[in-house]
């Protein structure tokens, strides 16, 4: 096995995908900055209560995008164009059904959603304005994720990155204009964020206009079997994203009863900072996914494991430096979002950042292992990891912290859940390797695993 081209593709793909994922995370981070400057603690609280909506939309978009992209990549080298087109068409058809569901929520049930997310009478109007706007623009967010995932699997990670960054840059300008120049408040912040995916898709459409695409829409009857396979391959991404939304809702519930709206605003600072660092791991995972699927499609187990090893080491090294930056830079991070100078918010957020961000090395490992299992067509193992780190472990630990009325317990909920999941995930991974060692295989694979 020649490792040089694999390393070259590895760093080329993860660099483009990390930047692309950061571009998506910047949508929310930019809103957080401008809202904190324009509307203070109440605005931060309203935004944090609205974040689960993005988790659910991104979850569906990534599920269909990564699931469909994985299927496309596996088939690309060994089937006809009409088969890969069918995968894309079925992914888009499923996306339209999901988009219709979010549209109905936005038109008829946006107030109910706002109440369910925990908004009290103080921040209800701000939260409702943001949530309703985002729900009405859900098709754009879903399609943006879908296009980016397929393009990464179609050897166009740089163009996908450029599209995401263009959307983020547009969001910065629009946030400033809508919030400060036109005084549109939370509705303006939401509108700026909702226009951004159209900019991204406009840039990414170059892939189709120039004819570089190896996938396109076809006039076919959607196949429930094909959609089921796509969902199965991408379900771990859905579970990871939705679990993030569940965690935010759960934390908002617990923190409100311990520290009130100021506590939720402080959690908003922590959660939004975490989105940026989580995007790094998502970018690494998104970068290795096309490579792993490609090598798996060629039955090259040695290359798949080598990519896995590179990804785990890259994630670990990043985690060490990132946590050091957060630990020593905490006062500066909090100051950026504490425009009104609240001492209570500052104290809660600074403690939260240093304790909550202990999750980083374990989250990176779990995200990468999930992608490995998906690429090896082992969706049940990937889904188990997503469920463990997202709900099965987080919920009981968070409620234990609630019973103890401990903010430290709240901040350590995610690190504890990720650590336990890592131990379980690595055990499953080693058992998988051990089974492969007992089977007849290429000598190069044995050498690599040593």
416 has a pLDDT exceeding 80: yes
What's the pLDDT at 78?
Answer: 61
What's the pLDDT at 450?
Answer: 39
What's the pLDDT at 8?
Answer: 84
Q: Regarding predicted confidence, which is higher, 131 or 164? A: 131
pLDDT tens-digit map of 302-353: 888 888 999 999 999 999 999 999 999 888 888 877 766 778 888 888 999 9
What's the pLDDT at 144?
Answer: 92
What sign for the dihedral angle of Cα 238, 239, 243, 244? negative
**CB-CB contact of 334 with 269 (8 Å):** yes
Q: For 399-408, b where at least 16 C-beta lie within 10 A, e where not — what string?
A: eebbeeeebe
Total residues belonging to the chain: 450
Cα–Cα distance, 44 to 331 (Å, whole number): 18
1 has a pLDDT exceeding 80: no
Tell me which residue range forms the domain holding 36: 3-449
Label each residue of the chain as H, E or C.
Answer: CCHHHHHHHHHHHHHHHHHHHHHHHHHHHHHHHHHHHHHHHHHHHHHHHHHHHHHHHHHHHHHHHHHHHHHHHHHHCCCCHHHHHHHHHHHHHHHHHHHHHHHHHHHHCHHHHHHHCCCCCCCHHHHHHHHHHHHHCHHHHHHHHHHHHHHHHCCCHHHHHHHHHHHHHHHHHHHHHHHHHCCCHHHHHHHHHHHHHHHHHHHHCHHHHCCCCCCCCCCCCCCHHHHHHHHHHHHHHHHHHHHHHHHHHHHHHHHHHHHHHHHHHHHHHHHHHHHHHHHHHHHHHHHHHHHHHHHHHCCCHHHHHHHHHHHHHHHHHHHHHHHHHHHHHHHHHHHHHCCCCCHHHHHHHHHHHHHHHHHHHHHHHHHHHHHHHHHCCCHHHHHHHHHHHHHHCHHHHHHHHHHHCCHHHHHCHHHHHHHHHHHHHHHHHHHHHHHHHCCCCCHHHHHHHC
443 has a pLDDT exceeding 80: no
Mean pLDDT score, 97-104? 95
CA-angle at 241, arms to 358 and 426, nearest 5°: 55
Mean pLDDT score, 392-406? 88
Q: What is the mean pLDDT of the chain?
A: 84
Q: Regarding predicted confidence, which is higher, 135 or 246? A: 135
136 has a pLDDT exceeding 90: yes
**CB-CB contact of 291 with 13 (8 Å):** yes
pLDDT tens-digit map of 220-231: 888 888 899 889
Q: Regarding predicted confidence, which is higher, 43 or 143? A: 143
What's the pLDDT at 446?
Answer: 39
pLDDT tens-digit map of 178-224: 888 888 888 888 898 899 899 999 999 998 888 777 778 888 888 88
| pTM (two decimals) | 0.73
Mean pLDDT score, 367-377? 85
Grade residue 77 by pLDDT with cuts at 50, 70 and 90: low
What's the pLDDT at 79?
Answer: 58
Number of domains in the chain: 1
Looking at the chain, the whole-number percentage of residues with pLDDT higher than 90 is 23
Which of 5-9, 40-44, 107-111, 387-391: highest mean pLDDT?
107-111
Report the candidate in 210, 213, 207 with the shortest Cα–Cα distance to residue 159.
207
pLDDT tens-digit map of 238-291: 877 887 788 888 888 888 888 887 888 888 888 878 878 888 888 888 788 778
Structure tokens at 98: 């999901």
């Amino acid at each position: 096995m020649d490792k040089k081209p694999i390393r070259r593709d590895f760093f080329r793909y993860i660099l483009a995908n990390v930047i692309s994922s950061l571009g998506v995370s910047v949508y929310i981070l930019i809103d957080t900055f401008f809202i904190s400057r324009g509307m203070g603690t109440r605005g931060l609280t309203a935004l944090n209560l609205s974040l689960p909506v993005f988790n659910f939309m991104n979850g569906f978009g990534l599920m269909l995008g990564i699931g469909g992209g994985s299927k496309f990549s596996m088939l690309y080298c060994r089937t006809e164009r009409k088969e890969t087109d069918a995968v894309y068409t079925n992914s888009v058809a499923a996306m339209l059904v999901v988009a219709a569901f979010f549209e109905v929520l936005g038109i008829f049930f946006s107030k109910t959603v706002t109440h369910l997310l925990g908004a009290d009478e103080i921040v209800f109007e701000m939260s409702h304005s943001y949530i309703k706007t985002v729900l009405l623009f859900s098709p754009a967010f879903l399609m943006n994720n879908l296009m980016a995932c397929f393009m990464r699997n179609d050897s166009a990670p740089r163009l996908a990155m450029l599209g995401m960054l263009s959307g983020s840059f547009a969001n910065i300008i629009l946030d400033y204009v809508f919030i400060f120049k036109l005084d549109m408040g939370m509705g303006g912040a939401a509108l700026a964020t909702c226009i951004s995916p159209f900019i991204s898709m406009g840039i990414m459409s170059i892939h189709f206009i120039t004819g570089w695409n190896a996938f396109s829409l076809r006039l076919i009857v959607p196949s429930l079997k094909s959609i089921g396979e796509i969902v199965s391959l991408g379900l771990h991404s859905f579970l990871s994203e939705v679990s993030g939304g569940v965690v935010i809702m759960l934390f908002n519930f617990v923190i409100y009863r311990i520290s009130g709206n100021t506590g939720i605003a402080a959690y908003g600072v922590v959660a939004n900072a975490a989105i940026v660092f989580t995007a790094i791991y998502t970018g690494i995972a998104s970068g290795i996914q096309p490579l792993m699927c490609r090598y798996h499609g060629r039955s090259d187990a040695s290359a798949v494991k080598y990519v896995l090893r590179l990804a785990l080491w890259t994630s670990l090294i990043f985690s060490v430096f990132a946590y050091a930056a957060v630990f020593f830079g905490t006062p500066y991070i909090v100051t950026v979002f504490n425009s009104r100078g609240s001492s209570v918010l500052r104290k809660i957020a600074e403690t939260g950042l240093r304790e909550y961000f202990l999750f980083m090395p374990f989250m990176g490992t779990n995200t990468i292992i999930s992608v490995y299992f998906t690429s090896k067509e082992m969706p049940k193992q990937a889904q188990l990891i997503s469920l463990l780190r997202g709900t099965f472990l987080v919920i009981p630990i968070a409620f234990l912290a609630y019973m103890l009325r401990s903010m430290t317990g709240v901040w350590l909920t995610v690190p504890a859940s990720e650590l336990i999941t890592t131990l379980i995930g690595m055990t499953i991974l080693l058992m998988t390797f051990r089974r492969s060692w007992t089977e007849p295989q290429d000598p190069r694979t044995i050498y690599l695993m040593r």
